[in-house]
Each structure stands twice: as structure tokens, then as C-alpha cells.
Structure 1
């Protein structure tokens, strides 16, 4: 056990000093465990949901980050498009069988095709 990384969280106001093998254990109000923020307060779920939403949008943008420098094959372009469509369906709460057309998805999400955007940037010399 790494005592320098060990933290203590309590829902009591009385926080006694705890010392293990000469290392004082730090009291904290929140910590991250297995990728999830943990808090004693009632705002825990609101904070965690906000954090997850931010992480989700960050991941969406990373799908095509740097794509203007890639050499596209039909297989790679289709893989990116399928992933992007799956993300958009998830955003809309639509099952794979429940949507009509890809154009319908794009009209509803207002998200541009990642492959087309990368091709435009590459053509414009942004590589």
C-alpha cells in the first residue's frame, strides 16, 4: 500500500488525524476512483454527469483530430464514417435499426462529415 497516495474521505465533521507508518493520511472532500468522481456531497451526481458530458464531447472531436495529414483509403474512410454515425445515433438516442437515412441523422445533429472536413483541410494545405 502506498501511504503517500492514500486519502481519507468522511461524512463526519470530526476528522481525526490518522498517521500510518509515519505518513499522515490526507482528508479530502472528493477523489477520482476508476474514472469516476466520488464526493460525499449531494452535488456528486451533477458534478459527475457534467464531467462525463465534457469527456464525451472531447472524445468526439478527437475522432478526426489530425485527419488532414492522413492518407485515406476507402476502408479507413468508411471506418471513420461508421464511427461518427454511431456517435451521432447515440447522441440522438436512436437505435441502429431506428433511423431512416444518414442525411436525416446529419440534419438532426448538424454535425459535418469528419472525412469530408479533413479532405477540405488537406486540399487547402492545412497538413
Structure 2
């Protein structure tokens, strides 16, 4: 209701339209090309929200901007919002560097927390139940948001190392036993985290392709953003997106 009353200030040109905000429940992202537009949008959101009893929480609100720009002084209710290099939105850490490493570390840590919460049960239950429980809890925590990842082989290997360490703990096997990782996977019965990633991408791509309501999810997935390339004439497609598309087409192979 609040955003329906806004006048459409700010935003980034995306697929021919201005994308100026994303929101899920009360988790909101405002998008603009400069600090002035963001300030105007914040004041407008705060004013429109106040009409229906809503107020922006200045302590929880953060500012992120492209690296190299001078510090942005964005105020709401007389409070200067903190500028950060990264931020966790809807459970996923975002940054302006397109660096997946922080999120990979968070996913691995989330997997370990879930793993230790059920490790006793995993050790004493039958193989079929154990694999189902592991796949639907631990692996879900590790691969959360993985449909949008564009990981290199080395980055994917970090997830595989984490899973192998968990399998050793479940089975009571040490490195001194010299059991190959492939054999460990067969013994534990759990799904291969590296194999799950492309499957999730393909499943999510199919879901988005079937959307017919013009939502931003499908529009951004089909959009070809162009960025300047100083080394050649014309424009080129963003490398991260190119890599993601290749992984979907080939199944990550």
C-alpha cells in the first residue's frame, strides 16, 4: 500500500523501466543512482508509511553504494544511516563486489550449526532416514539461495570439503582410514552438494520461465544488462551473469 502511493522517484533503468524498490513483507530495498534520490525516496516512504502507522527503523537501515564513491550522508528522522560494505537481506549476504566468498562462508557455518543440532540422531539412525534428514536440513542450510550462485570450481569445492567433513563425523571415520570421498558418500547415503547446485538452478529457472505475471523475478532473469568494456568497442554482458547462464545450460559440467 505504501509503495503504491509513491511517485516513482529514483531507481535504476532495468529492462526499460525504473526499478526503485524491492520488498518482501517489511524487508525493503530502495534503489537509486545517487544520494539525493535515495534521500527523497526515504523521506517519501517514511511519510507515506506514517499515514498508515508505519515507521522506518533507522538503526536497522543501512546504505550500500558502488565502491570508490564518497561517503553518502543519508538521513532519516535526523539520524545518519550507517554505510556498510555488505548486508544480509532475506538470509543472503549481499555486497557490491559480486564476491560470493562471504556468503559461502555463511552457508558453511549455517550447515555446521544445523549439523551439530542433529548429529546424535544422524549417528544412530538407519541409512535411509539419515540421508533424508541430512538432505532436507543440513544441505538445505548449505545451499540456501544457491539457485543464483555463479561459483567457480574452487568455490564449489569448499562446499564439498564441508560436506565430506560432516560425513566423516557421522560415520566415525578419520583421515587416517584413507577412505575416498566417493566411498564416503556411498556409505553415508547423503546427496552430493556439488551435484545439487546445478539441479537447483535448473529447477528454479523452470519455475521462473513459467511465471506470467510480469514480476521482477522473471524480468531480471531474462534481462541482458550491458556494461562498458574499456578494452573493446561497444558493450559486453556482465561476466557473472554469463557464467550463471552457462552453468544452467550445461548443468554445471
Q: TM-score, normalised by structure 1?
A: 0.52
Bigger relative contact order, structure 1 or 2, given CA contacts below 8 A and separation 6+? 1
Larger fraction in helix: 2
- Poorly superposed stretches of 4+, deviation over 6 Å: none
Q: Is the 8 A contact 2:72 2:83 kept in 1?
A: no
1:85 paired residue number: 131
Q: 1:37 aligns with which of 70, 88, 93?
A: 93
2:76 paired residue number: 20
1:16/1:61 CA distance change after superposition, 3 Å? closer
2:184 paired residue number: 108
Unaligned runs of 5+ in 2: 1-55, 140-162, 165-182, 189-253
Q: Is the 8 A contact 2:59 2:81 kept in 1?
A: yes
1:61/1:9 CA distance change after superposition, 3 Å? same
Unaligned runs of 5+ in 1: 68-76, 93-106, 113-127
The number of equivalent residue pairs is 87
Superposed CA RMSD in Å reads 3.4
Residue 63 of structure 1: SS of its match in structure 2? helix
2:117 equivalent to 1:62: yes
